[in-house]
Amino acid sequence: MSKKIPLDIVDDAGNSYYVSERKIYAREISGRFQTLRKIAVWVLLGMFYAFPWLEWGGRQSVLFDLPARKFYVFGLTFWPQDFIFLAMLLIMAGLTLFFVTALAGRLWCGYACPQTVWTEIFMWIENAIEGDRGRRMKLDKMPWNREKILRKGGKHLAWALFALWTGFTFVGFFTPIRDLFARAPFVSAGWQWGAWETFWVFFYALATWGFAGFLREQVCKYMCPYARFQSAMFDRNTLIIAYDPMRGEPRGPRKRGLGSVLERGRGLLDKVTAYDYVFRASGNAVAADAAAQAHGITGMAEFNPVREPLPKFAPEELGDCIDCTICVQVCPTGIDIRNGLQYECIACGACIDACDEVMDKVGYPRGLIRYSTQNAIDNRATHVVRPRVIVYGLLLAGLFAAWAWGVTHRAPLIVEAMRDRNALYRIAEGGEVENGYTLRVVNKDDTARTLEVTVDAGNGIRLAQGPFEVKAAPEEVLTLPVILRGPADSKGAVPVRFTVAAADGSVSKQVESKFFGPM
Amino acid sequence: MPDFTEPQFDHPPRSAVQAVGAILWPSFFAACVATMVFFAFVDPIALRDQTFPDLPMSRAMGYSVGFFMFWLATAASSLFTWILLRPPSRFNRALPPK
Q: Note the pLDDT tens digit of each residue in A309-364.
A: 888 999 889 999 999 999 999 998 889 999 999 999 999 999 999 999 999 999 99
CB A339, CB A281: distance < 8 Å: no
- pLDDT tens for each residue of A289-301: 888 888 887 655 5
Diameter of chain A measured on Cα atoms: 113
Q: Quote the pLDDT of residue A246.
A: 94
CB A498, CB A454: distance < 8 Å: yes
Distance of CA B78 to the CA centre of its chain: 4
Give the confidence band of A53 by pLDDT, cuts at 50, 70, 90: very high
Residue B37's domain comprises 18-86
Please tell me the distance from the alpha carbon of residue B97 to that of residue A372, in angstroms, as a whole number: 16
What is the amino acid identity at position A325?
Answer: T
Instruction: Please give the residue of chain A at the shortest CA–CA distance from B53.
Output: A418
β-bridge mates for residue A438, sequence order:
A418, A481
* B9 closest CB neighbour out of A17, A231, A374: A17
* B91 closest CB neighbour out of A11, A13, A228: A228
Q: Is B2 part of the contact surface with chain A (CB cutoff 8 Å)?
A: yes
Please tell me the distance from the alpha carbon of residue B6 to that of residue B95, in angstroms, as a whole number: 21
Q: Which of residues 31-50 of B touch A (CB under 8 A)?
A: 49
DSSP letters spanning B30-52: HHHHHHHHHHHH--HHHHHHHH-
Cβ–Cβ gap B91/A231 under 8 Å: yes
Q: Which helix (H) or strand (E) holds A514?
A: strand A508-516
Please tell me the distance from the alpha carbon of residue A498 to that of residue A507, in angstroms, as a whole number: 14
Instruction: Please give the residue of chain B at the shortest CA–CA distance from A322.
Output: B1
- pLDDT tens for each residue of A215-232: 988 888 888 889 888 888
Beta carbon pairs, A and B, within 8 Å: 79
ipTM: 0.71
Q: Which of residues 453-492 of A touch B (CB under 8 A)?
A: none
pLDDT greater than 80 at residue A13 = no
Q: Is A273 part of the contact surface with chain B (CB cutoff 8 Å)?
A: no
Q: Is B96 part of the contact surface with chain A (CB cutoff 8 Å)?
A: yes
Q: What is the mean pLDDT of residues A176-196?
A: 91
Helix (H, G, I), strand (E, B) or coil at A56: strand
Tell me the whole-structure pTM to 2 decimals.
0.79
β-bridge mates for residue B63, sequence order:
none
The more confidently predicted of residues A25 and A160 is: A160
CB A275, CB A290: distance < 8 Å: yes
Domain with CATH 2.60.40.10 in chain A: 413-516
Q: Is B81 left (phi over 0), alpha (psi -120 to 50) or beta?
A: alpha
Angle of the A32-50 helix axis to the A350-362 helix axis, nearest 10: 150
Q: Quote the pLDDT of residue A285.
A: 83
Q: Is A272 left (phi over 0), alpha (psi -120 to 50) or beta?
A: alpha
**Substitution target from B4, B8, B84 for chain A, most A beta carbons within 10 A:** B4
The vertex-A438 CA angle with A435 and A442, nearest 5°, equals 150
pLDDT greater than 60 at residue A20 = yes
For residue B7, tell me if it sits in a domain.
no
* B91 closest CB neighbour out of A223, A292, A343: A343
* Cβ neighbours for A89, distance < 8 A, ≥ 6 positions apart: A403
For residue B76, tell me if it sits in a domain.
yes
* Cβ neighbours for A196, distance < 8 A, ≥ 6 positions apart: none
Query: Residues of A with CB below 8 A from B98's CB?
Result: 235-236
For residue B77, tell me if it sits in a domain.
yes
Give the confidence band of A3 by pLDDT, cuts at 50, 70, 90: low
* A11 closest CB neighbour out of B5, B49, B92: B5
Q: Quote the pLDDT of residue A14.
A: 44
Q: Is B51 part of the contact surface with chain A (CB cutoff 8 Å)?
A: no
Q: Quote the pLDDT of residue A385.
A: 92
Domain count of the fold of chain B: 1
Cβ–Cβ gap A228/B86 under 8 Å: yes
* Cβ neighbours for A226, distance < 8 A, ≥ 6 positions apart: A97, A108, A109
CB A74, CB A52: distance < 8 Å: no
For residue B94, tell me if it sits in a domain.
no
Q: Is B85 part of the contact surface with chain A (CB cutoff 8 Å)?
A: no
* B84 closest CB neighbour out of A19, A222, A298: A222
CB A14, CB A90: distance < 8 Å: no
Q: Quote the pLDDT of residue A493.
A: 84
* A286 closest CB neighbour out of B5, B93, B96: B93
The CATH number given to A413-516 is 2.60.40.10
Cβ–Cβ gap B89/A285 under 8 Å: yes
* Cβ neighbours for A407, distance < 8 A, ≥ 6 positions apart: A76, A85
CB A261, CB A320: distance < 8 Å: yes
Please tell me the distance from the alpha carbon of residue A354 to that of residue A356, in angstroms, as a whole number: 6
pLDDT greater than 90 at residue B66 = yes
For residue B6, tell me if it sits in a domain.
no
The burial of B6, by beta-carbon neighbours within 10 Å (0-12 exposed, 13-18 middle, 19 or more buried), is given as: middle
Q: Is the N-terminal amide bond of A250 cis, ω within 30° of 0?
A: yes
Give the confidence band of A504 by pLDDT, cuts at 50, 70, 90: confident
